[in-house]
Structure formats: C-alpha cells, structure tokens
Amino acid sequence: MAYLHKIKVDAGNGRSRLRPYKVFLHRRQFMKKVLVFAMLVSAVGLHFSCSSELELPPAPPDEALHGSSSSGEGGSSSSLAASSSSFGGGSSSSGLVASSSSFGGGGSSSSVIPSSSSVVPSSSSSLPSGTVLCVLSSEVCSPMALIACEGLNGTPVQSCPVSSSSSVILSSSSVIPSSSSVAPSSSSSLPSGAVWCKLPNNTTCVAISQDACNSFGGTSCDESSSSAIPSSSSVAPCTANDNTSTHYCSEGTMKAYGSVTDNGGKTYKTVVINTQTWMAENLNYNPGTGNSACYDDLTSNCTTYGRLYDWSTAKTVCPTGWHLPSDAEWDVLVNYAGGSSTAGGKLKAASSWNENGNGTDQYGFSALPGGYSYSGGFSYVNNDGYWWSATEDDSNYDYAYARRIYHNFSHVNRDYDHKSFLFSVRCVKN
C-alpha cells in the first residue's frame, strides 16, 4: 500500500522545495488502524442504541421489594419484582414480576406463571383455578393468586393490555406453584427462596420472598392453616370461634341458625345435626307449675345456663312441635358425634367450662355446664352438665335416663337418676 507524502529537498542556492514522496506502509499496520477506527464507531453507536431503546419497567416506590441485577458470566438473581439485563450470556433471573433484556446470547428470564407456558394467557378464562390476571403497573401484567394481587395493590383484569412486559413468563419460583392451584402442604414444597407470609388485613398465607413479606409488613404464618391460592372451596374450614348471633359452624361449614319460641315468648337458636333438629340453648321457661329453679336461685344463672327441671316438669315444657328427647334420640346424637367416648368434646361449648374443659362445639350444639339441684341444694355449675331424657328406667319407675357431660372428660355418660333431681332440658323437633 502506497501513501503519497510531501517532503523538503535541497533545490540549490541555499533553497529548498517540497516534492511528492511515496511512503509504503505494511498491510498489517494499515488494517490495525482501520479496525481501531471501526471499534470506536461501533462503541458510539451501541451507546446511543442502548440509551434510546432499553426501557425497564418503572420501579415501585419501596426498594426493598425489588431486585435489580447485571451479570456478565453465569450470574443469577431473584426477588419479588426483578429487572435484569445481562451481557455476555448465561444469566437468568426470577421473581414475582420480571422483565429482562439480554445481549450476547444465553440469557433467560422467568417469573410468575406456570413454567409450561411461555406467554401470559390472553384472558383470565385460561388461567388455573384461583388465579387472576393482575396489572401491577402500567407496563406489568401477570397471572397470580387474587390475594397476592390485592397484597401488591394490583388490579385484577379479564385480559392483559398489550405491552412488551406483559409477555413475561413465570417459573416455579413464584406465588403460583406450577403443578397445582392449591398451596403446598408444607414449607419443604415451597419454591426456592419463598416463605409463607400473612399480609396485613388478610387472613390467608401467601408464598412470597422474605424481603417482600417484610416490606409489606407481613408476618410468618402456618401454611397448614391457610392457602396461598384458593382451592375449589375458597373459604377455610370454620371453627366455633367463628360463630355469630345468626350463624354457627357445623363440621367446618358456616350455617344459619334456626329458631323456636317457647310458650312464654322467648326465642331460642336451633341447629340441624344429622337428621335431627335440636335447640342450641338450654331451655329457660318458667311454667309456673311443677318443680323448677334457677341455679342458686339466681336469675342470672337461668339467663346463662337455662332453668333446671325435675323429670315430670321437663316432659311438659318444650314448645309446641318439639318434645323432650327420648333415650334413643340421645343415642342418635351421641353416635353421630363419634360415640360416647368422644362425643362430649364435640358437643361442649367452646367456653364456660372450668379448668379448660371447653369443647370444640363441632355441630353448634353448645352444651353448657348448668349443674344440677337436689333437695334444695345445687352442685357442679361450670363443671358438669346434666340433661333429662323422656325415657323411664323399666326396672324402677322412680328413675329416668339422663345424659351427663363432664368438664374434665370428653365422653358422654348415660345413666339413670331419681326423677326428683333438677336437670337441664334440651328439646328436639318432632
């Protein structure tokens, strides 16, 4: 390669002049200069291209909810909301919501949908049970459990707006397990990096990162008591603690109380247990005849525990359409509740029994320890409950069968007692 150059030469008489001169450069030196120039041009172009085209989703205000990472060689990152750019290949990121751009090949990103899907479903009808499409910002739309969407202040939608970030996919390290719409039964089956967290103002646990739980003001919770994703029955089983003035928990399901009014105008709650309808309270009706009393002759005890009756009076006080249960009808109830050895724990009310002798009140029967009376004396209020049956003892007609429940045992005792004793009354519907 020749390069034309001008140099000074002696022209005589002490003068000099410029004359063209060919300089020959080695081909390798020339190519090296061209390559350096080309690299400079490429670097400038890449700078302006990245500045104008690479836009990551806007970060939510709380930095603790996010992970942002750049990796050059095989790095990885994970968080509640992750944004990653990787140069050089081999990097990946995963989180609740993720957006990524990769240059140089080998990069991948994953976030919150089942891993078998590479794009967000076009509508909520194609999502797993209990899952919604949730818009977390103007540019991020992903499927997740409804409770997680609400906890992130997102908006459930029928379909995601068309945007570059709504094509983000999810791996198993998300709120929604890829294999099921039901939350894992133990922490060992949680995605890597996830914990069970109960968010403020919510009663269910969700599986999110520890940083996200802390940032939302959440607390650790027991996954067995709740579900990150609603199942086909989205309401957790109830307990007696959920009872209200109008509804009661029966075998894990809330039901509405029925009602019945006694001959004095007082109304009582009623519950259906198996094939029977029982009063859910001890009768507190003063017939004005026969033999009955309030425990310790205190009206307040009648208000709490009902009135005590001798056997003859007990047979006459139930409201019209109702009656004092027979010995056989008590057996039906006790057998349905698991038999005499365990039925007491299920029939006892969840409060009012001494020495932590409360029951689970599994059917809404709410048995109370009203005690009993004999010959003008009173015994065992708050400790034991006694209820008459309508069945006499065939071998001794001065006695009739009754049921007893004790504060310190779970069984229901069947025995016969003298008819002059004053016991509580529960009526059963005809």
Count the neighbouring beta carbons within 10 Å of the beta carbon of residue 172. 16
Give the predicted TM-score (pTM) of the model: 0.49
Looking at the DSSP bridge assignments, the partners of residue 208 are 195
pLDDT tens profile 30-52: 555 555 555 555 554 555 444 44
pLDDT, residue 190, reads: 59
pLDDT, residue 282, reads: 98
DSSP reduced 3-state for 40? helix
Closest of 202, 168, 133, 186 to residue 194, by C-alpha? 186
In this structure, which amino acid lies at residue 387? W
DSSP 383: T
Ranges of each domain in the chain: 1-34, 124-225, 241-429
Looking at the DSSP bridge assignments, the partners of residue 259 are 269
pLDDT, residue 182, reads: 38
pLDDT, residue 229, reads: 40
The token pair at 92 is: 């990946």
Phi and psi angles of residue 299, each rounded to the nearest 5 degrees, phi first: -60, -35
Contact 115, 169 (CB under 8 A): yes
Q: Which helix (H) or strand (E) holds 49?
A: helix 27-53
d(Cα 209, Cα 228) in Å, to the nearest integer?
Answer: 13
- Strand stretches in 62-216, DSSP E: 66-71, 76-87, 92-103, 108-110, 131-135, 141-145, 155-157, 194-198, 205-209
In this structure, which amino acid lies at residue 221? C
- Beta strand 253-256 with 258-261: parallel, antiparallel or unpaired? unpaired
pLDDT, residue 119, reads: 39
pLDDT, residue 112, reads: 37
DSSP reduced 3-state for 313? helix
pLDDT tens profile 94-145: 334 333 333 333 443 333 333 333 334 545 555 565 667 777 655 567 677 6
User: In the chain, which residues have pLDDT < 70?
Assistant: 1-131, 136-140, 142, 145, 147, 151, 161-192, 201-204, 222-235
pLDDT, residue 37, reads: 59
